[in-house]
Amino acid sequence: MGNIVMIAAVGENRSLGKDNKLLWHLPDDFKRFKKITTGHKIIMGRKTFESFPKPLPNRFHIIITRNKTYSPGHPECEVVHSLEEALQQVNKAEQAFIIGGGEIYTQALPHADKIELTRVHASFEADAFFPEIDMKEWELVEETYHEKDDRHAFPFSYLTYTRK
């Protein structure tokens, strides 16, 4: 298993999404996500994958589903049936990103080396949540604040955590 990084945008109440949709539109966060994950393997649940209009360019998608006959029909995608199986697809020299949803984040937290979190400074009604980050196990190593502006309805912070 390589270097596993969880990347997510979450509200103050750990909200991730509702009805398989994001709760906010933050163009700068999308740019950061693209910059960080491009060229790497991304691991996600089936519902997260299906929330995209098409596979994300220049990334290899590892999709976790219990459905044994599921096929995304795309060469840049591989289907597995457990997080463990997904992690086995990542060799020691690689960095891979866990990109959601809530259940996958919860399962992946014990395997992660780093968390790239965008904390949206508001609380939202949601049906998917990011797991609690235990500050006894994680250290905040970088923090950058982004004001609300004409393109971003909410202020947010980029937070980078590494495992202690």
pLDDT in tens, 65-106: 999 999 998 889 999 999 999 999 999 889 999 999 999 999
Q: What is the mean pLDDT of the chain?
A: 96
Residue 1 has pLDDT above 80, yes or no: no
- What pLDDT score was predicted for residue 40? 97
Of 115, 113, 77, 107, nearest to 92 by C-alpha is: 113
Q: How confident is the model at residue 26 (pLDDT cuts 50, 70, 90)?
A: very high
Domains and CATH numbers, the chain: 3-163 (3.40.430.10)
Q: Looking at this protein, which amino acid is placed at residue 5?
A: V
pLDDT in tens, 100-121: 999 999 999 999 999 999 999 9
Residue 155 has pLDDT above 90, yes or no: yes
Give the integer Cα–Cα distance in Å for 148 and 145. Answer: 10
